[in-house]
Structures are given as structure tokens and as C-alpha cells.
Chain A
Amino acid sequence: MDLFDLGLVFATLRLAAPLAAAAMGELLAERSGVLNIGIEGMMLCGALAAFAIGTATGSPVLASLAGSLTGVAAAALFAVFVLWRRADPIVTGTALNLFALGATGSAYRLLYPPEVPLSDAPAVADWLPGLNPFVVGTALLVVGVGAFLSYTRAGLAVRAAGERAEAAHSQGVRVAAARWGCTLAGGACAGLAGAMLVLWISNTFVEGMTSGRGFVALALVLFGGYRPGRIVLGALLFGAANALQFRLQALGLEIPYALLLMTPYLLTLLVLALFAGRVRAPSDLARPFIARE
């Protein structure tokens, strides 16, 4: 095996796409002023829903849809507490992650008791090697989110809600609506990312299978300076480093595996920290807003 070949590119895409999709969800929420720590939990909910619907119907399309919608439902729960009841977003997000891990685990064991043989979720077929609906979908999502935020009136309203909620409100922007919308859309992205893990990458559900990807997405948004292009580059870098790291382990080099497992995190952090420059979060991020006349 060459260390670098086409297989490495495909592995990079598989490892990067769920991160990129989840990060787009986080980006939408954060640009509207909502700090969504619960991405990991939303991914996990989406993954279980995609697995359940996928194995029941055999349709990857329905399964992806179910994953996204479940992500929306989890995001709605988050929004009820954070946007409506004005609970602390960090505490709520952490609670949501714990809740999602427990709830998906319990639901999975109820739905598929140990006596039932494990079944595979339907796999999404590749159109060409390395090219499938999820790769294209993620690319479109990134371009779409970027264009929405930068070039549309609604995108401007979203950014205004995140930067200066009161000023935006005084200009007639419906801040609450923008934040709700972005949080729910972010949940859809996270749910889709979870569905990708099931329908594309592993064809199965395992409790806790997101393994911290939601937090990596969170970090990518911050270190990518809230810009879609940089975030995707970060995701690709992370995916490539991770794929490469597995290849280095497979080569049987005398490098401690813990060091290799660390490289994607270190490398991505290093590159983004060096090249991102000064990152400024949206000014009104994680500040509750209540319209008062």
C-alpha cells in the first residue's frame, strides 16, 4: 500500500463529511446567536432514527429524512429550554447530550432486544467510487449555508440576530424566529450527520457511536472562524489526518498508537489556530433576547 492513494481520499471524505454537516448545523445556530452544545446528542438521535427507519423500510431516503427530522425534534427540545425558557445553553446542551445517550441506548435495547439478531441498515450506494448522495449533499449543504448567510436577506437577518439582537429587533428583524429557525435547521444538519454515520459509514447502530464527533464539529466552527469554507477545510484536514493515522497504525510503525490517535486533533487545532487569525464570535452569542416594545 502506498501511504497516499485514492483510498485515502475516500476515507477522508467518509471521515470528514459527517463532521462538515454537523458543523454547518452548529454554524447556523451560532450565527443566529444560539450556542448549541447539544450537537452530539442530536447526531445520536438522528443516527438511531435513521437505523430504525432504514431497517424497517429498507429505504435510505426515508431513513435520512427520519434522521434529519429526529435531529429537528431534539433541537426543538433544546430550543424550548434555551430560547423559550431562557435556560443556560451550556447546561441545557450538556443535559441534552446525556439525555440523548441514555434515551437512544434505552430505545435501542427496547426496539432490538439481545435475542433479536443484529441487522444491517440499508447502505447508500455510490454513484462512482467515492461519490454518493451524502458527499454531494454535504457539499451542497456547505455551499447553501454559506450563500444563505452571505447573500440573502434572511441570512443577513440571521447574522443581525446573532451580532446585535436588539438593533436587529429595532430594524424589524424577528430575532426569536431567526434563532428558532436556525436552531431547528441546525438540528436537521446534525441529524443528517448522524444518519450518514449509519447509512453510509457503518450500516449499523451502536450506542454512543458518535464518539465525540459533535464536539469536534463545535470546535471546527470556532477554529474555522465561523466561515463555512474554513470549517470545511478543517473537517477535511481532520478527516485526512484520521485516515492517515489509521494507515500509519496499519503499517506497524513503532509509534505509540495513542500518539497517532491524537494527531487529527492536534494537527487540525494547530493549522486552524495558525491560519485562522483572530476569531471573533458573534457578539450576541449565547445571550438570551426578549423583545420588549
Chain B
Amino acid sequence: MAFGAHAVPPGRRASIAARKRALADMLRGVGGTRNRVRPRASSCGIVFALAFGLTACGASPEPEAAFRVALLTPSSIRDAGWNQGAYEGLLKIKQELGAGVAHQETRTPQEFEVGFRDFAARGYQLVFGHGFEFQDAAATVAAEYPDTVFITTSGSIVRPNLAPMVFELEQATYVLGFVGASISRTGQLGCLGGIEIPSVASTFLAFEAGARSARPEVSVRVSYLGSWEDVAAAREATLALISAGSDVLIHNADAAARGFFQAAGEAGEVRVFGANRNQNELAPAVTLASATLDIPSAFVEVARSVKDGRFVARPIRLGLADGVVGIAWNPPLFAQLPEAVREAAQQLEGQISSGEFEVPRAGF
């Protein structure tokens, strides 16, 4: 009965003569043949102009200052974590050094390269690419624009005007892994990552090493979303980790991590750790601590060296000892920890900070 079950329309089988007639009609602009009405190209132009015009509203206008700094982030700066910290760093550079600043969100390697090139061509003295994934694009563009300094926050490529700024978040996740394994009832910990990139995998590696140092038989499960934004998937993945038996979890998933905290808050009987920023407030009932990064002061430091002409390209490693990496405990939950665990954690933090103990990390 479906209307869709119609036979092939007669118009489709039009003879050549009929097609010629149709064509003639079309050229005269009369008649009623079905293919005559075509989409208009001019309207498409309007749609695209509108789309790009409004999309571009997020971009900052060209700053006037003599010293100009730009930031490329891989996802939203409203993630209460990795990207938001970088944006705050950019604002701090503006505030403390009087720099003109600009920010752009870039998602694909092509966009990274276009973003770097765009800011360098406009004469920005310093451009940050916020993450490991930016280093190849930065190396390409750095060779073309020797007067601009490029900083990638992670990675290992060094050029005369390109240096990686490596945050040793592993130092904090190692301690959190140690604490997590000490308090886990199931002996199983979970990690939720956005996209598997070496810098994220490395924080989980250190988390697992820390856990094993407390309890060698502990099991650490890692789950990835394939996205930094899919908050619904993050919630499902976290619920799956919890129902599979993980009762202490850490994430490194940027904006999608909101779903991680939602699921943890819902499950109740778990403890979770935030990453890259103090996220204890996102689920205060279950978040025991956050591995924090003070990205703003690190950004200001390197920007000041560029501004004063003191910048020397070399890997900048920042950790617990520099005060850039830290652990923010959630006081009420920290107080519930057994005293031995609290003491061991603080002792471990001291040993790492003093350089007495070196935390394992992925080589990248």
C-alpha cells in the first residue's frame, strides 16, 4: 500500500525526443518538466557567508599591542580543565605583560597548521599549540617563520624557535594511583581517556605504576571515547567501568569529563580524581583529589622570556618541584583516608618533588 511502492516514473524513461523537448522547454523557461527547477548557487553563497560570518564571531579582533601572543587549543576552552587552564594563561599574559592576545580553537592537523601560519604571518611573537598533537604542525610552520616563537605544551621537537613545554602531570597521577590502590575495595582501578595520545596515555601509565607500587596485584582498566566532547559517551563509559568493578577512577578527557563526574556522582560508592585543574567541585561527594596544573603561571613565565628576548629553545619541564604540577585534595574526603595512606601519599609527593624518586612516564 505504501506510496513508495510506485513503479518507475514514466518521466525517467522519457525518449530522447521527449528529453529534447524538455530541454527546449527549459531553455525557454516554460513548461512543466520535472527536472527544470534547479537549486540556486547564489543562495548557497549566502548560507555559507552567514555560517562562517557567525562562526567567526568567536575569533578575537586584531589586538593593537606591540607584543602579541596567540593560543591554539584542540577543543573548547570551557572544559574546566586542560583547555580552560590554557585560556586563563593567555588572559594572564594579557594582564601581566600587557600583551595583545588571540585564541583559536583548532581540531584537525590541517587546522593546527593553518592556525600557526595565520598568527605567525600576522606578526605574533609567540604562539602556543596546546597539546602533544600540535608538535608536527608547529615544526613545519616554525621553519617558515623564524621570528615567531612556537611553544607546544607537550612533545619533544625542539627547533631554534620551537620548544615543548612539558607538564609532568605524571608526578601527580602516580601519587593518585598509589592512593587509589590503597583505598580500593575491589582492587580494580579505572581510567577514562578522551583520545589516545601519548601525553594522555602517559598519565595513565604513571597512575598504574603508582597503583602497583601500593598493591602489585591491582588491575587498571583503561577506556577511551575517541572524542573530547562526547559527554554522553563519557557517562556511559564511566558507568561501564564502575559496573565492571572499578571503584577508584581517574580521567583525562577534557570537556567530555563532565559525563565522568556525572556518572561517578550517580554511582556514589566510588572515589574519582580530576585532572589538569582543580575539579573537586564538579562532584564534591566523590572527588577525592585533582592532579592540577598551574598552566597560567607557566605561560606567563615563557611569555616574559620571549618578550624580554631571553627565550632559549629547549624542552621546558615543569613538575611538582616547580609548583606547576600539584595535587589538590578535597579536604572532607582526604580526612576520611586512613592516616597511614595520608602520610605515605605526602611522603611520596615530597620524594618526587625533591627528585629523590623519578616517576615513570611514556617516552614521547
Contact = CB atoms under 8 A, between A and B. Distances in A.
A87 B40 CA distance: 5
Contacts of B1: 150
A15 B255 CA distance: 19
Contacts of B9: 164, 283
A118 B9 CA distance: 57
B230 A211 contact: yes
Contacts of B32: 166, 292
A118 B80 contact: yes
A89 B39 contact: yes
B246 interface: yes
Given A87-B40, A95-B47, A163 B4 contact: yes
A202 B78 contact: no
B145 interface: no
Interface residues of A, number: 69
A154 interface: no
Contacts of B38: 86, 288
Contacts, number: 202
Interface stretch (A57-65, A177-185, A247-255): A247-255
A46 to B, nearest CB: 14
A206 B223 contact: no
Nearest to A108: B78
A85 B40 contact: yes
Interface string A189-221: 000000001000111101111010000000000
Interface string A222-254: 000010000000000000001100110111100
Given A86-B37, A209-B229, A95 B58 contact: no
B262 A204 contact: yes
Given A118-B282, A246-B240, A261-B224, A15 B4 contact: no
A18 B235 CA distance: 15
Interface stretch (B49-57, B290-298, B340-348): B49-57
Contacts of A81: 43, 46-47
Given A95-B48, A118-B258, A209 B230 contact: yes
Interface centre among A85, A150, A160 (most CB of B within 10 A): A85
Interface in B180-224: 190, 196, 219-224
B357 to A, nearest CB: 27
Contacts of A117: 281
Contacts of B76: 105, 206-208
A179 to B, nearest CB: 13
A96 B52 CA distance: 10
A229 B336 CA distance: 52
Interface in A273-293: 280, 282-284, 287-290, 292
Contacts of B281: 117
B237 A250 contact: yes
Given A112-B78, A202-B232, A87 B50 contact: no
Given A87-B39, A118-B258, A257-B223, A96 B232 contact: no
Contact of B244 (A14, A85, A86, A250): A250
Given A87-B47, A150-B2, A252 B78 contact: no
Interface string B156-188: 000000000000000000000000000000000
A48 to B, nearest CB: 12
Contacts of B231: 197, 202, 204, 206, 209
Nearest to B241: A250
A117 B274 CA distance: 16
A101 interface: yes
A103 B222 CA distance: 34
Interface string B246-268: 10000000011011001000000
B335 to A, nearest CB: 23
B327 interface: no
Contacts of A211: 227, 229-230, 232-233
Interface in B50-93: 50-52, 54-58, 75-80, 84, 87-88
A228 to B, nearest CB: 12
Contacts of A266: none
Interface centre among B56, B233, B255 (most CB of A within 10 A): B233
A115 to B, nearest CB: 10
B236 interface: yes
22 contacts: A1-B244, A85-B40, A87-B43, A91-B44, A98-B52, A102-B51, A102-B57, A105-B76, A112-B78, A114-B87, A114-B88, A118-B80, A164-B9, A197-B231, A203-B262, A247-B240, A250-B221, A251-B221, A257-B196, A257-B222, A257-B224, A289-B37
Chain A to chain B: the 4 pairs with minimum beta-carbon distance, closest first: A102-B55, A87-B43, A99-B51, A250-B244
